[in-house]
Structure 1
Amino acid sequence: MSVENTAFSASGEEVIARSIDIEVDDTADKLKSLAEFDAFYEIERTAREIEEDNFKRVALQFPDELLHDSVQIFRRLKRRIGLDKELYVLADTSYGSCCVDEVAAQHIDANALVHYGHACMSQTYRLPVIYVFGKKTVDVEDCVNRIAPKRSFYAMMSHTHIKQGDCQLAYAEIPDKLLPPDHPESSRTLPEEVDQDCTIFYVGDESLGLTNLLMTHSSCDVYQYSPTSQTSCLASGRTNKLLMRRYAAMQKGRDADVFGILVGTLGVASYLPLIKHIRTLLNASHKKSYTISVGKLNPSKLANFMEIECFVLVACPENSLIDAKDFYRPIITPYELEVALQAEQSWTGKYILDFEKLLAEYGQGDKTEIAEGNDEDKDEDAPVFSLVTGKYRHAKQFGPISSETNSMASPSSSAALIQRNQDNALSLLSDSAAAQFLQSRTYQGLDPRLGQDAPSALEQGRSGIARGYGGSTLDHKS
């Protein structure tokens, strides 16, 4: 009888045999000439940037859906730059297609990186980054006719001109090159914050960027125009449904006592201070936390941490909102954690994905002190009502505990817990969620039986290779 592999145990064969489903972007394949191909991928501009800044080793990074065009782009660029300059092709990153893989670029000692496809502008890098978004065509007349009745918009697009007419139009051009912060010519002229009392017009197809826009501007009407299908719709009509899904995930996070902090980026500014803030926040709330770096998320990876009840994903805005229906535990954002740990929850629909804004509002340092100062008036054994199950539950307590509980613990461990194990004997466990989870499991591994069994005599084993042993002197006993 064959045993089907699960997320908890597998032979490893699927790692070699598996195929990755990729929705290939075939926009460039439909172009009629090499001149149009060069214009789409901005070959001339990219080569000029490389020549003017005299970059000697340049990494070209492609998302999976554009990797099929990498060879052609490499050849077209190579013909236009000096022979003393080297180009290297990088595939998708360990985190997300919008993220720049600066670590991989440094492995080849690159001094510049060209990033193809959509990008997250909230990231900060030590290398100069040239962005190539791809110049897709837009039927301007059709676009204007579909948005003409609207009074005010914010156009989220690059290198696209719209006839203003009688509308008040706010527009900021997205930069196509970012320099390191310490570079003398560095300037981060990113689009300014959108006024919440306006109508937003989004040019583009369905994407994570549109989802994030709907979440962070829930009070605005967002109209989407798709250049591919030449259709428009009120995209913000599904905002409430998105918010309700996130609210449900946040309630599951409120019921959790053991958290895993998932490091989903190495380039977003302030990601290290945010991780430190999350650890402090969870410790002040008597929650246990583990910090995990797993790269791209999938259910199999996270299923290895069964003692963790909820994950907090620290990632760029493009990759922060994870639909965790295929995962065994909920995955929430740092902002959702902030709301979940509040004594009195009040969520007006406001949503924050930017790290620096989140730290500016919640990471002032006095919140943790206030939470710890109220521990004397808080009954640690009081049940907590769960909106998920509709029942009361008793929360586990980790980290600093009261003096009454501490008097029962071992002097060597201020956070030791006393409980009965499977043999109905008292045992001491340190402040470890993993140890408590192991103690509660029916199967805890093979019994080592140390000192209980006498060692057997050494015997000559089999010889040969796995497919055909020979010369066996083993005594096979039934």
Structure 2
Amino acid sequence: MALAGPSNFSEDAQAVIDRPQPAHSVKHDNIEQVYEIQRCVDIITSRDFRKVALQFPDELLADSAAVAELLTQRTSAQIFVLADTSYGSCCVDQVAARHVSADFIIHFGRSCLSSVSESPVLYVFGQQPVDVDDCATKFTTLYPEKDTPIMLMCDVVYAHAMDPLLSTLKNQYNYTQLLHKPIKSDENLDRAPCAFSTTTGCACQSAASAGTDNTSGTQNHDHHEAANGNHSYATSRHADLPEGKRMEDYSLFYVGGESLTLTNILMVYNKCEVSSYDPVTKEVRAESSKVNRMLMKRYYLVQKARDADVVGIVVGTLAVSSYMDILNRLKKVLRKHGKRTYTFAMGKLNVAKLANFAEIDIYVLVACPENSLIDSKEFYRPVVTPWEMELAIGLHGGWTGEYVTAFGEVLRRDVQEDNDKEEESGDVSDEEPHFSLVTGRYKKDGIYTSTPRSTATQDDLSDDLKKLTIRNAPSDLALVLEGPGAAQLNSRQWRGLETKYEDHAPSAIQEGRSGIASGYVVGENTDQEKR
């Protein structure tokens, strides 16, 4: 019996494997300079690393084989290429590095510069060309006043050009109040992981306050902040501010094109005037006009999060320090405010993955600062950041326009607020509903606030008895749990095929077809039936 179907199913599997795929990666001619080969060799040999993992983003994969070959020839270490990242390419993929037991990771390309929690890491950003003279000339047209406080920021691929630019602006154009802190690519190379506690804060800060020595390398955690407040740690790109200065006093000049880095800077420093210079197009433009529209979108998501009863916490990183602390913190405060939480670990996000869970009202993405700000307009449910979720339940004084993307900074503020005021015991019960700005109606909060059995009253037991319902003809009793899964199932018109075991006797088991779709084997017949 011939099986009807399209001829495409009978193609040779090898043809599918050999089919060319469009590539967006371009090879570079000056590999030695772009990837800083000699510097990598010196670090590997001086520290006697035996297994080295090389992490490339998709746009640099074309050079991965050449870089790995050069490092293999010049060192005695085993070189492995991590061809696909578990999460965002800007984050260090320590999960993939563990598969080969790598003791050292070299991260190439753009990076979010988040503090890692395990293996030593060297960042090689890739030195993209910048016309420093043209950039300085365009800078003077934007800021004609020489004493204007200006902070210089950049995409990491242009970090090598910032010192020459700063020198040109100071020496040739006589600017007096320029501020820039160089981006260090080896800050995660020597230091030991920092243990952050939701009760005591950062371990190295606790050791410093106790007078003990905890200087096991350079400390550069995104949740640090100096006691005098003259530091900016709202993002992974921080700077030491002069005495008496605040970030609002500075204008920001960013060197780089459209990227997640620029979006992150615009959101966090939304009270500063931001201008950018694109080294590719050599154009300058004011970016501050976008901020209000972006903040309005995020404020709408905060209101959606406020109305949500079931929250999905999506793990978007396994490498950034303190990701487990913010995860546990979210579970604690959301449970306290009567919201049901579910935790998901699904690698890179897409619309299809998140659409599988219809019970979820909103998702909270725990990721690095640059990957946490995603446009979720195509998603079935909105995706917010931990900061936005905590604002939605009334923490941090509500919405003021201040924005934080680094969850290490969110943790630091949580600890500070917990120390300033003692937390109330038990669940937070909002008996009075709040007015939803999304639906225009009143919304009851805390519908999943649970009452411990030891403190349950007679009324609570009576409410539990009301959950007993008649399920089918034999009068079997089923407890309909007060949960999002049961509520979602009850709201569906079709709940699956109805099983009537008493009306249908089991049929005899028969052997069916076996094999693959392009050639089945039926019963004992050894002749394959082709499509």
The bucket for the TM-score relative to the shorter chain is 0.7 to 0.9
- Work out which of the residue numbers 44, 47, 54 in structure 1 matches 2:41: 47
Amino acid at match of 2:176: C
After superposition, what is the alpha-carbon deviation per residue over 1:227-270, rounded to whole angstroms, capped at 9, x for unaligned? 00001111122011111111111111111100000011112221
Asked if the contact 1:263/1:291 (under 8 Å) is kept, the reply is yes
- Work out which of the residue numbers 164, 189, 207 in structure 2 matches 1:179: 189
Asked if the contact 1:127/1:180 (under 8 Å) is kept, the reply is no
After superposition, what is the alpha-carbon deviation per residue over 1:288-331, rounded to whole angstroms, capped at 9, x for unaligned? 00011111100111111110000011111010101001100000
Q: Evaluate the alpha carbon distance shift between residue 141 and residue 291 of structure 1 in structure 2; reply closer, same or farther with a 3 A threshold.
A: same
Shift of 1:185: 5.8
Identity %: 37
Amino acid at match of 2:74: R
Amino acid at match of 2:329: H
Amino acid at match of 1:136: Q
**Separation in 2, partners of 1:344, 1:419:** 41
1:271 aligns with 2:311: no
In the alignment, which residue of structure 2 is the partner of 1:159? 160
In the alignment, which residue of structure 1 is the partner of 2:85? 93
In the alignment, which residue of structure 2 is the partner of 1:107? 99
Asked if the contact 2:330/2:386 (under 8 Å) is kept, the reply is yes
Q: Evaluate the alpha carbon distance shift between residue 136 and residue 266 of structure 1 in structure 2; reply closer, same or farther with a 3 A threshold.
A: same
* TM-score, length of structure 2 as denominator length: 0.75
Shift of 1:408: 2.0
**Separation in 2, partners of 1:315, 1:464:** 44
| Aligned 1:74-473 pairs, distance under 5 A | 74-81=68-75, 84-148=76-140, 149-150=142-143, 151-157=148-154, 158-160=159-161, 161-162=164-165, 163=168, 164=170, 165-177=174-186, 178-179=188-189, 181-182=191-192, 186-188=217-219, 191-192=238-239, 195-342=247-394, 346-363=398-415, 364-365=417-418, 369-370=423-424, 372=426, 375=429, 378-379=430-431, 382-395=432-445, 397-401=447-451, 403=457, 406-410=460-464, 418=467, 428-450=479-501, 452-458=502-508, 460-462=510-512, 467=520, 469-470=522-523
Secondary structure class of the residue paired with 2:467: strand
Asked if the contact 1:57/1:85 (under 8 Å) is kept, the reply is yes
**Separation in 1, partners of 2:177, 2:378:** 44
Asked if the contact 1:285/1:371 (under 8 Å) is kept, the reply is no
Shift of 1:462: 4.7
Asked if the contact 2:369/2:405 (under 8 Å) is kept, the reply is yes
Secondary structure class of the residue paired with 2:330: helix
Asked if the contact 1:252/1:388 (under 8 Å) is kept, the reply is yes
Asked if the contact 2:54/2:82 (under 8 Å) is kept, the reply is yes
* TM-score, length of structure 1 as denominator length: 0.83
Amino acid at match of 1:397: I
Number of aligned positions between the proteins: 438
Shift of 1:438: 1.4
Secondary structure class of the residue paired with 2:239: coil
In the alignment, which residue of structure 2 is the partner of 1:24? 24
Q: Evaluate the alpha carbon distance shift between residue 463 and residue 291 of structure 1 in structure 2; reply closer, same or farther with a 3 A threshold.
A: closer
Amino acid at match of 1:418: K
Structure 2 unmatched ranges of 5 or more: 1-15, 194-214, 221-236, 242-246, 526-531
**Separation in 2, partners of 1:333, 1:45:** 37
**Separation in 2, partners of 1:359, 1:343:** 12
Secondary structure class of the residue paired with 1:59: strand
After superposition, what is the alpha-carbon deviation per residue over 1:134-164, rounded to whole angstroms, capped at 9, x for unaligned? 1111111111111125223222242222222
Q: Evaluate the alpha carbon distance shift between residue 438 and residue 58 of structure 1 in structure 2; reply closer, same or farther with a 3 A threshold.
A: same
Q: Evaluate the alpha carbon distance shift between residue 436 and residue 141 of structure 1 in structure 2; reply closer, same or farther with a 3 A threshold.
A: same
Structure 1 unmatched ranges of 5 or more: 1-15, 411-415, 473-478
Asked if the contact 1:312/1:331 (under 8 Å) is kept, the reply is yes
- Which range moved further: 346-355 or 272-281? 346-355
**Separation in 1, partners of 2:152, 2:179:** 7
Shift of 1:193: 5.7
Q: Evaluate the alpha carbon distance shift between residue 434 and residue 72 of structure 1 in structure 2; reply closer, same or farther with a 3 A threshold.
A: same
Amino acid at match of 1:187: T
Q: Evaluate the alpha carbon distance shift between residue 107 and residue 237 of structure 1 in structure 2; reply closer, same or farther with a 3 A threshold.
A: same
Secondary structure class of the residue paired with 2:248: coil
Asked if the contact 1:281/1:368 (under 8 Å) is kept, the reply is no
